[in-house]
Structure 1
């Protein structure tokens, strides 16, 4: 009789524990049990990263939509990846230019999707000395304002311009040829609306520009991660 009683109590305990665990995982999304798989996935992804990798995503705003239309590309934002004291960051030109933790940066994109590219000969070219030069050069832009007018100056700076200049001026690598504003698809009314807001009737069609699409299509780069 006692054995049956203990057995009953044991089964009741297990059922109660299982129910409590289920409720905790459902009601409390930050429960450590629910993070195990995500943490392993994140760790696996970050183990593939290298200094100087370039990451692309689709941002969500009227301007970013205009960029996607004008460049015929799903990508509207990009940044350069650095390992700083054992933690991965994306150096990006937003308002202001700053370092953003890698996992936080991903969450800012549409559906958390992104693509990571790397120089095809990165192991030979991006030596520790060159990477340090890139990081040192990057510091001059930290805290600068985002350039909503896409001017080719260092006073303010936009995302793809930031990446292009770091590679060109610190690593001596021209990732792609520069374009002019008039080379893009400017006829769409959504693009026209943004241009009108920015420039009025004086659109600088001859301004040198580089878009995320130009970088992502560079023949010098290879895809490391693509979760689109």
Structure 2
């Protein structure tokens, strides 16, 4: 009787062992989405058009960006309210927009930080916001810039936000750097540079990183 019970139980235990990792991942995704939705619901009444939003991306290059910039923030976007719903305009592949809930859930742990121009009340007039969106529309549909160049042919996340604000308001949010000013010493960073540029790394290329925008004195955190 015990042998029959064991023979019956063993396949069930094996199936449970196989299913556990999948169930665990699903539960982790559920928790992440729930945390993101809770935080979005808390902040939604406080959001303004033109707010900037930062997160730790889960993309393949995120680790290299974090190591090179010494910051967890590797992706960012800009918020606009459309049809009574908050959307994030961002440079991914291609430049486009997504819902705020989906955007936040996509980041590591569902965590994000929203920042705003410190004098947004006077700078971001209705006319300025129209200009900000119009500048953004010029970039919609452009391909993501894997090489972090400064031309407008392709564009990356923080470059999009920096150029939108600079062209629409004259404000430069975050200090421009060159690639050589980043910490390029980590093997993961070196591997990504080798993958992208081979032996011709453009060390003098102008770059604006998410963390330089995040740390800008032009911005204050929305709490």
Q: Please state which band the TM-score falls in when normalised by the shorter chain.
A: 0.7 to 0.9
Residue pairs, 1:91-102, within 5 angstroms? 91-102=89-100
The aligned residue for residue 53 of structure 2 is 55
SS at match of 1:173: coil
- Select the structure of larger CA radius of gyration: 1
2:157 maps to which of 134, 154, 159: 159
Alignment partners' CA distance in 2, 1:220 and 1:199: 33
Deviation, 1:40, is 7.4
Residue correspondences, number: 190
Distance 1:176 1:105 in 2: 23
Whole-angstrom CA distance in 2 between matches of 1:138 and 1:99 = 11
- Native 8 Å contact 2:89 2:96 kept in 1: yes
SS of 2:147's partner is coil
Corresponding position of 1:64: 62
User: 1:39, CA displacement in angstroms?
Assistant: 7.1
CA displacement at 1:60 relative to structure 2: 1.4
Counterparts in 2 of 1:39 and 1:67: CA distance versus 1, 3 Å: closer
Match runs of 1:85-96 below 5 Å: 85-96=83-94
Structure 1's consecutive aligned runs of 4 or more residues displaced over 3 angstroms after TM superposition are 37-44
Specify which of 69, 74, 82 is matched with residue 72 of structure 2: 74
Deviation, 1:41, is 6.0
Offset of residue 177 of structure 1: 2.2
Q: How is 1:70-149 mapped onto 2 (pairs within 5 angstroms)?
A: 70-149=68-147
Task: Give ranges in structure 1 of 5+ residues lacking alignment.
Answer: 1-28, 30-36
Report the aligned-residue RMSD.
1.7
Structure 2, unaligned stretches of length 5 or more?
1-26, 28-34
Q: Hey, what does 1:174 align to over in structure 2?
A: 172
Q: Which residue of 1 aligns with 2:219?
A: 221
**3-state SS, counterpart of residue 80 of structure 1:** strand
- Length-normalised TM-score, structure 1: 0.80
* Partner Cα separation in structure 2 for residue 204 and residue 97 of structure 1: 24
Q: How far is the alpha carbon of 1:114 from its aligned partner? A: 0.4
The answer to whether structure 1 residue 207 and structure 2 residue 205 are counterparts is yes
Describe the shift of the 1:189–1:49 C-alpha distance in structure 2 as closer, same or farther (beyond 3 A): same
